[in-house]
Amino acid sequence: VALDCIVVGGGLVGLGSALALLRRDPRARVVVLEKEDAVATHQSGRNSGVLHAGRYYTPGSAKARLAVQGLRKMRAFCEANEVPYETCGKIVVAVTANELPRLRDLEARGRANGLAGLAWLDRDAMREIEPHVGGLAALRVPEEGIVDYPAVARAMVRQIEASGGEVRSAAEVVGVTRRRDGVWVVETRRGAFEARWLLNCAGLQCDRVAELAGERRDARILPFRGEYYTLKPDRQHLVRHLIYPVPDPAFPFLGVHFTRMIGGGVECGPNAVLSLKREGYSRTAIKLSDAIDALGFHGLWHFMRRYPGVTWSELRRSFSKELFAASLQRLVPAVRTEDLAAGGAGVRAQAMAADGTLVQDFLFAGRDGAVHVINAPSPGATASLAIGEAIIDRLLGVPSEPARAVR
Ligand SMILES: Cc1cc2nc3c(=O)[nH]c(=O)nc-3n(C[C@H](O)[C@H](O)[C@H](O)COP(=O)(O)OP(=O)(O)OC[C@H]3O[C@@H](n4cnc5c(N)ncnc54)[C@H](O)[C@@H]3O)c2cc1C
């Protein structure tokens, strides 16, 4: 066999996994196959750029564990590779009285997850940190920060190549089979590759790549687009660092926030709108096969019946700058509609179960020398190096003997 491991997907999770394997075994022959012309083109290059510290994840969950480890690893990686990052801290703001108990709960979870330096701020104390913030009280999370994730991805590529691995772009995986002798054969638009191990880190396409490899698509990837505005330069003084709302435990990715970016400027968002194209970054983007795939999935209809309010309010806000501004004003009342300039967008790969529940935790599946990353939502970028380690642990624990369950 030519290779030890094929990694599908050149996002942070795929690159982090390749690096983890090369660290474990410097002689491993590894190739990362990326369908686009460059790495980090999708989620890894189109996110909020935040280094999350794992404050509200359920204690004991993979998210909580890997976010805390991942943040440490990511900071060390940035130091070693001269990638710009800043530990600027974040405040999570309770705007209404009924958010106060939830904020207390976040504080307790943060402590359980081992976060250092958490502080409860009353109105005056929070205004010392963010003079323009509204609301009743805030939790300060000093360990959170901001980073240039595309630069992280480029540094990961350099490290992989320096360790003897390879990253091939414009190499879309279109077929996967497992030979009787247990070798994985991966067809791409740039020829076929063979390896004894297969890692599927295809992000928005991970369920499809898993299906190519013979897995059932029990959980479906639903694409939720997140659209951003930016604060116009003369209003950027309204936000110093990171200002977040108290998350709804049922929808941790909902709630627009303010993010000072590592390269300058302040982003506002993202919202969360069901996208009719998995890699669709404009409001009107639609791809028929993706739309049919989403709308033909029973789970989505269960979800929309259960949460009609959320579905429609996100959609309405997507088309109304005033509504978007109103959400932002909850956190910073001085922000006006005219302060917002159009920003970018990203699409989240969110796994949904057949009964319409959102898969909240990181989820990996695998057998026969393959691991599929089924769900790696936020804080997947922060945690990517730790996720890589966890995947390699799992891979090395999976028996890869031949002739079993080849479908
Ligand atoms: C709007 C938004 C905001 C976010 N904010 C944050 C944040 O602030 N902090 C944080 O930690 N996380 C954040 N996240 C989450 C984070 O971006 C993701 O968890 C992380 O980037 C996932 O990385 P990935 O490698 O799994 O996916 P991706 O970066 O999407 O990479 C998957 C790769 O696989 C490739 N691929 C797909 N199919 C194939 C194929 N058939 N053959 C070859 N290649 C293929 C794709 O082209 C892509 O490059 C955010 C996400 C979004 C969308």
Measure 237 CA to ligand 1 centroid, in angstroms: 30
CA 400 to chain centre: 29
Measure 14 CA to ligand 1 centroid, in angstroms: 9
Q: Is the pLDDT of residue 21 over 70?
A: yes
Q: Is the pLDDT of residue 407 over 80?
A: no
Average pLDDT over residues 117-122: 95
Which residue lies with its CA nearest to atom 22 of ligand 1?
A: 380
Average pLDDT over residues 33-39: 98
Nearest CA to 389 out of 44, 9, 23, 71 is that of 23
Q: Is the pLDDT of residue 177 over 50?
A: yes
Concatenating the DSSP letter of every residue in 310-375 gives HHHHHHHHHH-HHHHHHHHHHH-TT--GGGEEEEEEEEEEEEE-TTSPBP-S-EEEEETTEEEEEE
Decide which of 190 and 17 is more confident.
17
Average pLDDT over residues 151-161: 98
Spatial separation of the C-alpha atoms in residues 365 and 54, rounded to whole Å: 23
Query: What percentage of the chain has pLDDT greater than the value 90?
Result: 84
For helices 149-162 and 12-24, angle between their N-to-C axes, nearest 10 degrees: 30
* pLDDT level of residue 404 (50, 70, 90 thresholds): very low
Query: What percentage of the chain has pLDDT greater than the value 70?
Result: 97
pTM comes to 0.95
Measure 382 CA to ligand 1 centroid, in angstroms: 11
Q: Is the CB of 44 under 6 A from ligand 1?
A: yes
Measure 223 CA to ligand 1 centroid, in angstroms: 11
Averaged pLDDT score across all residues of the chain: 93
Residue 401 has a pLDDT of: 36
Measure 334 CA to ligand 1 centroid, in angstroms: 33
Average pLDDT over residues 20-28: 97
Residue 303 has a pLDDT of: 93
Looking from the CA of residue 212, the nearest atom of ligand 1 is 41
* Amino acid residing at 200: N
Average pLDDT over residues 297-322: 89
Residue 308 has a pLDDT of: 84
Average pLDDT over residues 53-70: 85
Average pLDDT over residues 153-174: 98
Residue 162 has a pLDDT of: 98
Best residue among 44, 225, 262, 281 to mutate for probing ligand 1's pocket (most ligand atoms within 8 Å of CB) is: 44
Looking from the CA of residue 15, the nearest atom of ligand 1 is 25
Q: Is the pLDDT of residue 263 over 50?
A: yes
Average pLDDT over residues 49-67: 87
pLDDT in tens, 203-259: 999 999 999 999 999 899 999 999 999 999 999 999 999 999 998 877 777 889 999
Spatial separation of the C-alpha atoms in residues 287 and 58, rounded to whole Å: 35
Q: Is the pLDDT of residue 276 over 90?
A: yes
Residue 64 has a pLDDT of: 87
Residue 400 has a pLDDT of: 37
Which residue lies with its CA nearest to atom 53 of ligand 1?
A: 348
Residue 118 has a pLDDT of: 93
pLDDT in tens, 356-402: 999 999 999 989 999 999 999 999 999 999 999 999 999 998 443 33
**Contact by Cβ (8 Å): 71, 382:** yes
Residue 1 has a pLDDT of: 59
**Contact by Cβ (8 Å): 50, 259:** yes
Which residue lies with its CA nearest to atom 41 of ligand 1?
A: 173
Residue 55 has a pLDDT of: 63
Phi-psi region of 183 (alpha: psi -120 to 50; beta: other; left: phi over 0): beta
3-class SS shares of the chain: helix, strand, coil, % to 5 = 35, 25, 35
* pLDDT level of residue 403 (50, 70, 90 thresholds): very low
Average pLDDT over residues 93-111: 93
**Tokens of residue 299, six digits:** 């789970």
Residue 361 has a pLDDT of: 94
